[in-house]
Amino acid sequence: MKGRFYLFQDKTRNISIIGENKMTVNGHQSYIGNTGKKWMVNDTYPNKERIQTLFLYHEATDERIDIGKFLAPPGFDGEWRCDLHPWSAGDGTKVFFQSAHEGKRRVYMVDINKLIKK
């Protein structure tokens, strides 16, 4: 079965699929601050090669921008895994995420100001 993201409109029966062909695997998504909910940040769990992808998604244009791919090193498994869990700065100019791709769990920042159209 193909993974999907659904948007449920509160107190209605309105449900829509988001990113049907661009956001196809489970992740940790949230809206980018100060973009009027036009942009989302999302990640993926590690694939067979232990690679996690961090990306932006623009719902109105169905545009996906991969920010980076990060190795989930051996030893960061199960209870000790390090999901990216991305979040944005309130002003919508930066994305922060966790990763262990350098061998230690750390927090990283990416300036996305030039990537998104506010």
Q: What is the pLDDT of residues 31-72, one digit of tens each?
A: 999 999 999 999 999 999 999 999 999 999 999 999 999 999
- Asked if pLDDT for residue 118 goes beyond 70, the answer is no
pLDDT of residue 25: 86
pLDDT value of position 1? 45
Sign of the dihedral through C-alpha 60, 40, 38, 13: positive
Q: Is the pLDDT of residue 93 over 60?
A: yes
Instruction: Kindly list the domain boundaries of the chain, sorted by start residue.
Output: 25-111
